Amino acid sequence: MIERMLNTRLAGWIDERTNAVSFIRYHLIDYPTPKSLNYWWAFGSIALVILIIQIVTGLFLAMNYKASTVATGGGFTVAFDSVERIMRDVNYGWLIRYMHAVGASSFFFVIYLHMARGIYYGSYKGPREVLWLIGVALFLIMQSTVFFGYLLPWGQLSYWGATVITNIFGATPVIGPWLTELVRGGFSVGDPTLTRFFALHFLFPLVLFAIVILHVLALHKTHSNNPTGVEQKSKKSVIPFHPYYTVKDLFGIGVFLIIFAYFVFYNPTGFGYFMETDNFSPANPLHTPGDISPVWYLTPWYEILRMIPSKTGGILALNLAFILLFLLPWLDRSPVRAATYRPVFRQMVWLFFVAILVMGYCGHHPVTPVYNLIGRIAGGVYFGFFLLLPFVHKFENPKPLPEEEGA
Amino acid sequence: MDDKDKGRRDFLYTVATGMGVAGAATAAVPFVRSMQPAADTMAASTTEFDLASLSPGELKVIEWRGQPVFVLHRTPEMIKEIRGHNQMLKDPQSRAIPEVQAVWMKSEAQRIDRSIRPEYLVISAVCTHLGCVPTFKPTPGQKDWGNSVPSDWPGGWHCECHGSYYDLSGRVIKGSPAPYNLHAIPYKYLHDATVLIG
Amino acid sequence: MRQTVMTVTRPIVFVAILVCAVLSTKIASAVEATSSLKQAHINLDKKTINKGLQVFTDVCMGCHSARYLTYHDLMDYPMFGLTRKEAQDLSGGQPLTAAMMSSLPPEAAKQSFGVAPPDLSIIAKAREGKGDYIYSLLTGYGHDPKGNIPDGNYNEYFPGHRIAMPDPLGWLNRDASDTDSLKEQARDVASFLVYISDPHQIERHAIGKWVMIFLVVLTLVFYLLKRAVWKDVKH
């Protein structure tokens, strides 16, 4: 049916003037994909679906949300009130809001799995370095987007989370305090901060969408990796993206939607992890809630910030954590891609993933000597992974690689 | 792939596409509905009015959904006045457009009185020409109003903006630039002395 | 097939351990906070919620407001279903679009109790333990075993045990014969508060059932389609 549509005279007329049909034909239909991709390759398309859900639900929320900290009595504000209005008075507002909150956590969950696939199977290695760099950049833009968005409900955690993180800018040498004031638009997080964060939260997902297109173009230039890590170049080892991977991705998306719908309709607060209990109390600038920790998906990075005893040291460590992620293609010197065939790297990668989870767990809890110690050990593993990598290929004995699929 | 497999595959394509389109259309409904007036807008969309606050012959202009509405307590003379000048009117039976009719206009008398009960008129105060609020000139003839009204003036409203005339049921008089009778609005009696508009 | 099982099971085991670890922390932290909560047996049916509304207007509204609940909502929400007259009687002359606000000025409350009584519109969402916590709190007034906090301010379930709200249902000094009726009041008002914190939750569950059924069938169709399309590919 799609073929019939693309072969019409109208399609031809458009294609003569834009290359649209040839573009669609190559990138969505003919794109040669290895036969052997497993379901870890489904997360990219699932992430795209979630991005679209977030943009659509976000737009409809923005039709009713008001970014203003003007007080409406009892500690409540116009912003907080507008969110409750969406939940109660706007037709199906509750559904749109819950989809957006569950969507945000889902987005990070899926992207973490997507990145894990990239690290495990060596998809970051040449010639896919730029693909990887664009991906890490997308991850950072996602983090900024969610940081701006979390302030909008103007709850206790919204306010104090923003206060703590914008304070961190203050530790930047020389320009610190100037930078903090610039970001906040005032001397503390307040109305100017809220309005600009709303503007930025609206903009960033659209920027994200544009860069995702670059991400896919970079992928299509080098072609996809596969679970063996061995380049699949022969015609017998690749199949066209449509119908094979369109239907496979649809199945993956279906499974995702079932889990997504369960949370939206039956557990929207996600056991207190998607929508945190304290954030249902309006922001009180005079009283900090018991434990402030970021939402679960930012906790590993928050723990890196906290584990260094000095404020500046923490910022430097966090920056280094992301820079090392960018440098991954050049730190790892082994010509073998997939961890399946690299006994030493494989153990390191699993330890690396566990370390991130442990740092997340610690980051969620208040600072106690025990959590601090465990967090630092995990941090050591995280940084150790990158620092050890350049040397691994020297003493690792990779397993024999399989022949090209279908050859 | 043999024909049987192809048949099965094509069938599954059709089912998947059909269900997908149905699902997408259903998913669109809440988003469209969210753009319609919200519950708080709907709650504020009705106005209650205490008719006992009007003395006979008195007119009040009140607000409903942000628009002006005439509430008039008609005397028996006024009620007599609105019968017998059909030839002056453009649309004596309020049939021209849906907006000049109302769901409560069930009997002939109600179509002439343009109200549920003749004693109280509840009608839109927006002139159907270009939207001004007409001036109340209830007494017939030119004695009280001079040349501003025609000599056969039955009593009613005169829109000073562009010279449209309406009778005491809000029906537009021939020669007015306004095309239609004053629009009817939904209302009901909560009890004898109170109406709920909207 | 074995290859698939191998590549799939390990991550699944991994995620399962993770989920268990996370859930155990949730349980652990619930236990850490004061005593573990009583079971409220929240009931979201019209009768209980309306009884809870009665308790709310008779007792709680003396000090607490529900700024996001209007008198008009009492007509609109199916679990209340009040008539216009009933809602008008409750509103005491205010327009129906007015919120259910307490007549106690917050400043005066702060003077008397030391802290302004919080708004109760979303209190059930804003406290760990939700309905169970509210029920436990209302039936949690007791004598301080350490003897520090005076009667009327000691509450077994309030974090820190020192609560500013005086025993609203008269739990502490109840007769043995009152216990059941007070428990019922506590349960009714807890149910009411759970309902008003998320008035669309009943509709949400109802729609959710159909959405889940549809998605499961759709995903099954997608799975069969995938198998059919991939039938001839060696992979």
ipTM: 0.93
**Residue B3: pLDDT band with limits 50, 70, 90:** confident
CATH number 2.60.40.420 given to B43-197: no
Nearest in space to C118 (alpha carbons), one of C161, C63, C162, C173: C63
Whether C4 shows a pLDDT value over 70: the answer reads no
| Subunit contact A271:C23, Cβ cutoff 8 A | yes
Secondary structure of chain A in the HEC alphabet? Answer: CHHHHHCCHHHHHHHHHHCHHHHHHHHHHHCEEECCCCHHHHHHHHHHHHHHHHHHHHHHHHCCCCCCCCEEECCEEHHHHHHHHHHHCCCCHHHHHHHHHHHHHHHHHHHHHHHHHHHHCCCCCCCCHHHHHHHHHHHHHHHHHHHHHHHCCCEHHHHHHHHHHHHHHCCCCCCHHHHHHHHHCCCCCCHHHHHHHHHHHHHHHHHHHHHHHHHHHHHHHHCCCCCCCCCCCCHHHEEEHHHHHHHHHHHHHHHHHHHHHHHHHHCCCHHHCCCCHHHHCECCCCCCCCCCCCCHHHHHHHHHHHHCCCHHHHHHHHHHHHHHHHHHHHHCCCCCCCHHHCHHHHHHHHHHHHHHHHHHHHHHCCCCHHHHHHHHHHHHHHHHHHHHHHHHHHHCCCCCCCCCCCC
Tokens for B38? 């919200």
pLDDT band (50, 70, 90) for residue C107: confident
pLDDT grade for C205, boundaries at 50, 70 and 90: very high
* Contact list, A85 vs chain B (CB under 8 Å): 38, 40
pLDDT, averaged across chain C: 89
Q: What percent of chain A has pLDDT over 70?
A: 99
| Beta-carbon separation of A250 and C225 below 8 A | yes
C127/B contact by beta carbon, under 8 A:
no
State yes or no: pLDDT of A354 exceeds 80: yes
Q: What percent of chain A has pLDDT over 90?
A: 91
> Mean pLDDT across the stretch C55-64?
96
Same domain, C105 and C162: yes
pTM of the model: 0.89
Q: What is the pLDDT of residue C12?
A: 61
Q: Does C76 touch chain B (CB under 8 A)?
A: yes
Residue A73 β-bridge partners: A76
The C-alpha atoms of residue C216 and residue C214 are separated, in whole angstroms, by 6
Mean pLDDT of C49-78: 96
Chain A neighbors of C116, CB-CB under 8 A: 74
Residue C110 sits in the same domain as residue C214: no
Residue A407 confidence (pLDDT) above 60:
no
Number of Cβ pairs < 8 A linking chain A and chain C: 102
Kindly state the tokens that stand for C225. 């389609």
Superfamily designation of domain A31-395: Cytochrome Bc1 Complex; Chain C (1.20.810.10)
Asked if A64 lies within 8 A of B36 by C-beta distance, the reply is no
State both tokens at B150: 């025609």
Q: What is the pLDDT of residues A254-272, one digit of tens each?
A: 999 999 999 999 999 999 9
| Inter-chain touch B38–A95, beta carbons under 8 Å | no
Domain-wise residue ranges, chain A: 1-30, 31-395
A229 vs A123, A291, A314, A389, A398, CA distance in Å? 8, 44, 36, 18, 12
Indicate whether C152 pLDDT > 80. Answer: yes
CB pairs under 8 A between A and B: 36
Check CB contact of C219 with chain B, cutoff 8 Å.
Answer: no
Residues of B assigned a catalytic role: 162
Kindly state the average pLDDT of the residues B179-185: 96
Average pLDDT of the residues in A117-144: 98
Task: Identify the band that residue C2 occupies on the pLDDT scale cut at 50, 70 and 90.
Answer: very low
Same domain, C16 and C116: no
Residues C141 and C125 in one domain: yes
Judgement on whether residues C209 and C158 belong to the same structural domain of the protein:
no
Which domain covers residue C108, as residue numbers? Answer: 38-199
Q: How confident is the model at residue A172 (pLDDT cuts 50, 70, 90)?
A: confident
Asked if residue C6 has pLDDT above 80, the reply is no
Q: In CATH, what number is assigned to the domain containing residue C105?
A: 1.10.760.10
Mutate to test the interface with A, among B13, B34, B36 (most CBs of A within 10 A): B34
Tens-place pLDDT, residues A295-345 = 999 999 999 999 999 888 999 999 999 999 999 999 999 999 999 999 999
Are A90 and B30 in contact (CB < 8 Å)? no
Confidence band for A92, pLDDT divided at 50, 70 and 90: very high
E strands of B11-66, at which residues?
47-50, 59-64
pLDDT band for position C17 (50/70/90)? low
Choose the closest CB to B1 out of C214, C222, C231. C231
pLDDT of residue C91: 94
pLDDT at position C166: 93
The reply to whether C223 touches chain B by the CB within 8 Å rule is: no
Helix segments in chain C, DSSP class H: 2-32, 46-58, 71-76, 84-91, 106-113, 123-126, 130-138, 179-197, 201-230
What residues in C contact B191, CB-CB < 8 Å? none
What is the pLDDT confidence band of residue C24, given thresholds at 50, 70 and 90?
low
**What ranges do the domains of chain B cover?**
3-36, 43-197
Same domain for C101 and C144, yes or no, is: yes
What whole-number percentage of chain C has pLDDT above 90? 77
**C122 and C211 co-located in one domain:** no
In this structure, are C213 and C194 located in the same domain?
Answer: no
Share of chain B above pLDDT 70, in %: 99
Under the banding of pLDDT at 50, 70 and 90, the label for residue C34 is low
Interface with A, mutate which of C219, C220, C221, C234 (most A CBs under 10 A): C219
Number of domains in chain C: 3
Q: Are C123 and C150 part of one and the same domain?
A: yes
- pLDDT tens readout for residues B9-23: 999 999 999 999 999
Using a CB–CB cut-off of 8 Å, the residues of B that contact A are 16-17, 30-31, 33-36, 38-41
Q: Are residues C155 and C210 in the same domain?
A: no
Q: Using the predicted structure, report yes or no on whether residue A348 has a pLDDT greater than 80.
A: yes
Residue C10 pLDDT: 61
CB contact under 8 A, C225 and B13: yes
- Report the pLDDT value the prediction gives residue A233, as an integer from 0 to 100: 81
